[in-house]
Amino acid sequence: MALERTLSIVKPDGVQKNLIGEVYRRFEQAGLRVVAARMMQLSQAQAEGFYAVHRERPFFKDLVKYMVSGPVMVQVLEGENAVSKNRELMGATDPKKADKGTIRADLAASIEENVVHGSDSVENAKNEIAYFFAAADLCPRTR
């Protein structure tokens, strides 16, 4: 087991539907600790930069438009195998394909409005955390 950190975002639909607490409850129940958090209204440039790897995808424009449509809650989660644990909690990107009991199967409306984002690898987690947080923003809970 490896102690990891991952970046998580409660997306505009999750915030709008008052699901921040429900999502955090699932993180905490699974043993993930919130070590940094910030509510933000993303700018166009911030959303485009965050999803730059998807720039050439047909859904990019709509994805960015949706991500700036309202506030998001951005957090860093810490715990054993945090990256894969968070992905298990989220379920598949498309809620129709997500396992029952996952955040997306239980709470998401569509592949776009899918309540949460989570880093897909330890390497990407490092970059995504650095995109939103300075090292001094993190409050390690493992001491």
Question: Which residues of this chain interact with ligand CMP, rule CB under 6 A?
Answer: 54, 59, 63, 93, 111-112, 114, 117
Q: Which is nearer to ligand CMP, 22 or 112 (CB)?
A: 112
Q: Which is nearer to ligand CMP, 25 or 97 (CB)?
A: 97
Q: How far is the CB of 99 from ligand CMP (least distance, A)?
A: 16
Whether 117 is catalytic is yes
Q: How far is the CB of 118 from ligand CMP (least distance, A)?
A: 7
Q: Which is nearer to ligand CMP, 52 or 139 (CB)?
A: 52
* Given the residues 5, 11, 85, 117, the one annotated as active site: 117
Contacts for 122 with CB less than 8 Å, ≥ 6 apart = 4, 6, 83
Q: How far is the CB of 140 from ligand CMP (least distance, A)?
A: 25
Q: Which is nearer to ligand CMP, 62 or 141 (CB)?
A: 62
Q: How far is the CB of 20 from ligand CMP (least distance, A)?
A: 16
The CA-atom distances, in angstroms, between 123 and each of 31, 118, 119 are: 21, 13, 9
Query: Looking at the annotation, which residues are catalytic?
Result: 117
